[in-house]
Amino acid sequence: MQEARVVKTTCPYCGVGCGVLATQMEDGSVEVKGDPDHPSNFGKLCSKGAALGETLGLETRLLFPQIRGKRASWDDALSLVADRFSSAIRQYGPDSVAFYVSGQILTEDYYVANKLMKGFLGSANIDTNSRLCMASSVAGHKRAFGADTVPCSYEDLEDADLLVLVGSNLAWCHPVLQRRIEDARKSRPHMKVVVIDPRETASSDGADLHLAIAPDGDVALFSGLLAYLSKAGVVNHEYVRDHTAGFVEALNEAQRWEEASLVEATGLSAGQLHQFYDLFARTSKTVTLYSQGVNQSVSGTDKVNAILNCHLATGRIGQNGMGPFSITGQPNAMGGREVGGLANTLAAHMELDNTEHRSLVKQFWKAPALAPKQGMKAVELFDAVASGRIKALWIMGTNPADSLPNAGKVEAALASCPFVVVSEVVKQTDTSRHAHVLLPSAAWGEKSGTVTNSERRISRQRPFLPMPGEAKPDYWQFAQVARRMGFRQAFDYGGPDAVFREHATLSSFANAGARDFDIGAYADITAEAYAELSPFQWPAPSEGNVNPRHFFAEGGFYHADKKARFIPLKRKDHLPARKSGQTKYASTVRLNTGRIRDQWHTMSRTGLSARLSAHSAEPFLEISPQDAEDAGLQQADIAQVTSPHGSVLLRVVVTSRQKTGAVFAPLHWTDQFATNARIDRLVTADLDPFSGQPAYKHTDVSISPFNAVVYGFAVTRNKPSLKGLDYAAAVRCDGGWRMDFAHGSYLDQSALLKHLRAPQKNSGHWSEYRQSGDAYRAACFDEDGLVVACLTSAKPVSLSRSHLVSLLAKEEWSQQDRLSVLAGFPSATQPSKGAIVCACMNVGVNEIGKAIAEGAHCVDSVAEITMAGTNCGSCRTEIERMLHGQFQQAAQ
């Protein structure tokens, strides 16, 4: 027997960058485990990483190039792309073309894209979804440090005595870091965690202090902190004197915040402010970790600098357990920044606006047409598509029709653009339906290259599967088009190792410590060494002994005078009255958006896993009891949420975890899995003035009940058709699909069964039951078991969804089982799992509740009894919450 080959690679989801061991099994399946040797995760994986093996099927893959919906050869497709880009440039100039790429492509892909656009096409119109994600952190870093440098490493999270999470739901979005922190807290129980987030989250559940800050109250909070640190006498005057500039001005501004306005702007009590300020002042080993609650705001860059100001003032930077830590979202957000993939940067952390940098890069690339000025940032870029200025657009590894603000406008812009190329791994997305040319890309497990995680660690993504159909790597696609546009020599790469070598060489070109990003030690890496490359952190210059764990302990910033800058933040700019200028409704609330534990963005890959889809199967709206009452909404109703841009329908989850005046909805739902649930159709395109990052967390919306005539739930073996249903969400489950739906007008039985793709009434065994009005229940069986079951009602249906879902995959059927289908609940002798909490071990809320009722007193004892939380551990905070009796059973 041949021995199974284990391939070391890196998880394609979040910026933690966990090492993965992938093994192809004899039956063709792939076993995925955490890599115990990878220094980012030491063998741990979260639920998404652990389910990677379930997302590798080819059923939804794009396998061949297409031109206007018809299969085409690579040669024809690439030649057409080259022709259309060349002719647009000839006719309308270089700024008439654009690339819009992604923090999910590899560094090598990104490098080639950036080189082609900025060095050879003569425009800087290349931007990326990192604009939506990290741009405010980049801008804040550059203002303070003179370069986009992340000074910390993950060990600092474990070594800190105080960890402040600002606008980060780490437990769901970076779960392996959350696990590392939980483990560290076990061995260092004095370590404190503070969470600053307007809503209660899985991350605030385990924290020592949760500050439910008012939306965008962060600049006020950290300005108040700076003034407090000065008053408390903990300013590190030596560090401030030797390594920084502008302290006095920043402090003066911070001191303008008197207590009353701090209380007003932050929505926190004076007591809470004092408690946090005192803790921060007392604890020198402090890490402030921040994410989208900071970045995605009209004051995102100022929030970043408000945090950096406090760390610079105390000199808490560059040492073990200290520092400001911007955590990245995507697996290669950092790699994209390194190659300069943003419209306002150049390459290797050089700047477009810097003449010296421009001439260095021009010389290095032998570039015939180095972009003379910054390009358009994402939102501005799509505005230019809408106004017809962009004649040819290439989108790669991102789904802007769903993820950009005012997505309806974005989609219309795409539909009107004369030439759109989309490089994708799946056949159909809300973006790809507007492509003139669709190019099949190699996916995770097939592609080869490097990614950089949040702690500046570069790791290999290695292939362990062949590229299916005619899929090709992303970098190859750009290089082929470049060659067809006449740039053969500059894009003649033998493989990703050649691209990496060039990138590493550029990073050290005329550098000698002048720029932070230097991986010159790898400039001559051989193909063999690249194949074997172990994860390493940058900087890694070719000479000198550098410890890459930290930056800036001894200053050494990247402004010309080597000093960091304090940024004075004006009080008047951050008073709560400052709002977007949009229309107000009578019942306006603030819409906050973000992520759920087990889905990744637009669900194109996590949506393939039944396990991952079990945790949260519908697009929902979290709303406080007061707001729900005011809007006339009850638990499980459907809400219509409206902004000036559009309207969506979402399932109502009434919860006191949400503060009155604000609601929360996930960003994940698209037309591929739901109807009328694309949240970014509502989100307004307000931008941070420095970074151009959209303020996704704050849109004024109005909320009203959607008057559904019928509500229902169904499980079906075949993929249901959602089109035409007002509210519908369908996700995979074992053996088929589960669907929740509601409709505003009468839905007759045959129309419903058509949506469910049910067999004809004269085939299969049907049982049906009709109560008065709209209450209709039906199930159809064939020799293999249940084909379809649906239950409808004039009210939100009350039934055990997990029970019905479990029946689809059931092989042995008793009479009693069949009866239980129409009842919607298991028979008295069969316990129902309830909503799934632990995706890995398929453990439901009822099973955990029972274990607690029977005496389990801690997460470990629940785990022992039920197995929940024993694999990836992503559900442990939810179990903890149930243990503390706060759990509300939103679903049965």
Ligand X SMILES: Nc1nc2c(c(=O)[nH]1)N[C@H]1C(S)=C(S)[C@@H](COP(=O)(O)OP(=O)(O)OC[C@H]3O[C@@H](n4cnc5c(=O)[nH]c(N)nc54)[C@H](O)[C@@H]3O)O[C@H]1N2
CA gap 129, 643 in Å, rounded: 23
Whole-number Å distance between alpha carbons of 790 and 806: 14
Interface residue with ligand X, options 649, 667, 780, 839 (CB under 6 A) = 667
SS3 of residue 156 by DSSP: helix
Q: Which of 21, 32, 45, 407 binds ligand SF4 (CB under 6 A)?
A: 45
**Which of 537, 508, 503 has its CA nearest to residue 520?**
508
3-state secondary structure of 496: helix
Q: Is 574 in the site for ligand X (CB under 6 A)?
A: no
Cis peptide before 539 (omega within 30 of 0): yes
Nearer to ligand SF4 by Cβ, of 41 and 640: the residue is 41
Residue 151 neighbours by CB distance under 10 Å:
24
- Which of 66, 604 has the CB closer to Mo ion? 604
The partner in contact with residue 176, picked from ligand X, ligand SF4, Mo ion, none with C-beta cut-offs of 5 to 8 angstroms by kind, is ligand SF4
Q: Is 701 in the site for ligand X (CB under 6 A)?
A: no
Longest dimension (CA), the chain: 86
**Residue reference for tokens 């919306």:** 701
Which does residue 341 bind out of ligand X, Mo ion, ligand SF4, none, counting CB within 5 to 8 angstroms by kind? none
- Name which of residues 160 to 179 contact ligand SF4 (CB under 6 A): 174-176
Residue nearest to ligand SF4 (CB): 49
Q: Is the CB of 51 or the CB of 437 nearer to ligand SF4?
A: 51
DSSP lists the bridge partners of residue 711 as: 742, 793
Query: Which residue, chain included where needed, has tokens 């030491």?
Result: 42
Cβ neighbors of 547 (< 8 A, separation 6 or more) are none
Contacts of 498 (CB under 8 A, 6+ apart): none
Return the one option of Mo ion, ligand SF4, ligand X, none that residue 18 interacts with (CB less than 5 to 8 A, by type): ligand SF4
Q: How distant, in Å, are the alpha carbons of 110, 186, 666 from that of 704?
A: 44, 46, 18
Nearer to Mo ion, 603 or 841 (CB): 603
Considering only 339-347, 393-401, 510-518, 575-583, which stretch makes contact with ligand X by CB under 6 A?
393-401
Chain centroid offset of residue 857 CA: 34
Whose structure tokens read 């669907």?
739
Classify residue 129 by its DSSP letter: G
Partner from ligand X, Mo ion, ligand SF4, none binding residue 597, C-beta < 5-8 Å depending on class: ligand X
Which of 548, 337, 331 minimizes the C-alpha distance to 461? 331
SS3 639: strand
* Helix, coil or strand: residue 162: strand
329 binds Mo ion (CB under 5 A): yes
> Considering the rule CB under 6 A, would residue 49 count as an interface residue with ligand SF4?
yes
Segment contacting ligand X by CB under 6 A, of 273-281, 419-427, 577-585, 741-749: 419-427
Asked if 452 touches ligand X (CB under 6 A), the answer is no
740: nearest Cα among 777, 713, 709: 713
Q: Of these, 223, 301, 319, 604, which contacts ligand X (CB under 6 A)?
A: 604
Q: Is 134 in the site for ligand SF4 (CB under 6 A)?
A: no
The continuous run of DSSP H or E covering 863 comes out as: helix 859-866
Q: What does 313 bind: ligand SF4, ligand X, Mo ion, none (CB cut-off 5 to 8 Å by kind)?
A: none
Q: Minimum Å distance from CB 21 to ligand SF4?
A: 12
* Ramachandran angles phi, psi of 193, nearest 5°: -125, 125
What is the C-alpha to C-alpha distance for residues 480 and 357, in angstroms, rounded to an integer? 27
Residue 292 touches ligand X, criterion: CB under 6 A: yes
User: Is residue 321 a contact point for ligand SF4 (CB under 6 A)?
Assistant: no
Residue 11 lies near ligand SF4 (rule: CB under 6 A): yes
Sole binder of ligand SF4 in the list 9, 14, 169, 525 (CB under 6 A): 14
Identity (one letter) of the amino acid at 502? Answer: E
DSSP state string for 659-671: PTTEEEEES---T
Q: Does 107 bind ligand X (CB under 6 A)?
A: no
Nearer to ligand SF4, 45 or 730 (CB): 45
Distance from C-alpha of 201 to C-alpha of 558, rounded to nearest angstrom: 37
Q: Which amino acid is at 744?
A: G
For the bound state, the minimum distance from the C-beta of residue 361 to ligand X, rounded and expressed in Å, comes to 25
Residue 425 touches ligand X, criterion: CB under 6 A? yes
Q: Are residues 24 and 465 in contact, defined by beta-carbon separation less than 8 angstroms?
A: yes
Of 14 and 121, nearer to Mo ion (C-beta) is 14
CB 548 within 8 A of CB 137: no
Q: Tell me the closest approach of the beta carbon of residue 751 to ligand X, in angstroms.
A: 31
CB of 670 to ligand SF4, least distance (A): 20
Nearest to ligand X of 462, 550 (CB atom) = 462
45, interface contact from ligand SF4, ligand X, Mo ion, none, CB < 5-8 Å by kind: ligand SF4
For 35, phi then psi, to 5°, come to -85, 110
Q: Does 650 bind ligand X (CB under 6 A)?
A: no
Task: For 808-838, give one letter per residue: b (16+ CB within 10 A) or e.
Answer: beeeeeeeebeebbeebebeeeeebbbbbbb
Give me the residue whose beta carbon is nearest to Mo ion. Answer: 329
Binding mask of the shown chain, residues 462 to 501, with x at each position contacting ligand X by CB under 6 A: ------------x---------------------------
Stretch that binds ligand X, among 32-40, 209-217, 456-464, 518-526 (CB under 6 A): 209-217
Residue among 329, 360, 419, 361 at smallest CA distance from 111: 361
Q: Is residue 268 involved in binding ligand X (CB under 6 A)?
A: no
What part of residues 181-200 is at the interface with ligand X (CB under 6 A)?
Answer: 196-199
* Binding-site member from 8, 13, 54, 550 for ligand SF4 (CB under 6 A): 13
Q: Indicate whether 697 belongs to the interface with ligand X (CB under 6 A).
A: yes
| Contact residues for 709 (Cβ-Cβ < 8 A; gap 6+) | 743, 744, 745, 746, 747, 774, 794
Residue among 683, 659, 613 at smallest CA distance from 403: 683
Cβ proximity to ligand X: between 149 and 291 the closer is 291
If one asks whether residue 802 binds ligand X (CB under 6 A), the answer comes out as: no
Q: Which amino acid is at 510?
A: A
Binding mask of the shown chain, residues 145 to 174, with x at each position contacting ligand X by CB under 6 A = ---------------------xxxx--xx-
Q: Report the residue from 11, 81, 117, 133 that binds Mo ion according to the rule CB under 5 A.
A: 133
Q: Does position 201 bind ligand X by CB under 6 A?
A: yes
49 binds, among ligand SF4, ligand X, Mo ion, none (CB under 5 to 8 A by kind): ligand SF4
Considering the complex, state which of residue 39 and residue 594 has its C-beta at the smaller distance from ligand X. Answer: 594
Neighbouring CB atoms inside 10 A of 386's CB total 18
* Residue closer to Mo ion, measured from CB, 292 or 507: 292
Q: Are 590 and 661 in contact (CB under 8 A)?
A: yes
Instruction: Say whether 681 sits in a helix, a strand or coil.
Output: helix
Q: Which is nearer to ligand X, 472 or 484 (CB)?
A: 472
Contact assessment for residue 461 and residue 451, using Cβ atoms and an 8 Å cutoff: yes
Binding partner of residue 17 among Mo ion, ligand SF4, ligand X, none, CB under 5 to 8 Å per kind?
ligand SF4
Q: Does 9 bind ligand X (CB under 6 A)?
A: no
Distance between CA atoms of residues 502 and 492, nearest Å:
12
Query: Contact residues for Mo ion (CB under 5 A)?
Result: 133, 329
Query: Contact residues for ligand X (CB under 6 A)?
Result: 14, 102, 104-105, 129, 132-133, 166-169, 172-173, 196-199, 201, 213, 215-216, 218, 291-293, 296-297, 329-330, 396-400, 402-403, 423-426, 429, 441, 443, 447, 474, 592-595, 597, 599-602, 604, 667, 679-680, 683, 696-697
Query: Contact residues for ligand SF4 (CB under 6 A)?
Result: 11, 13-14, 16-18, 41, 45-46, 48-49, 174-176
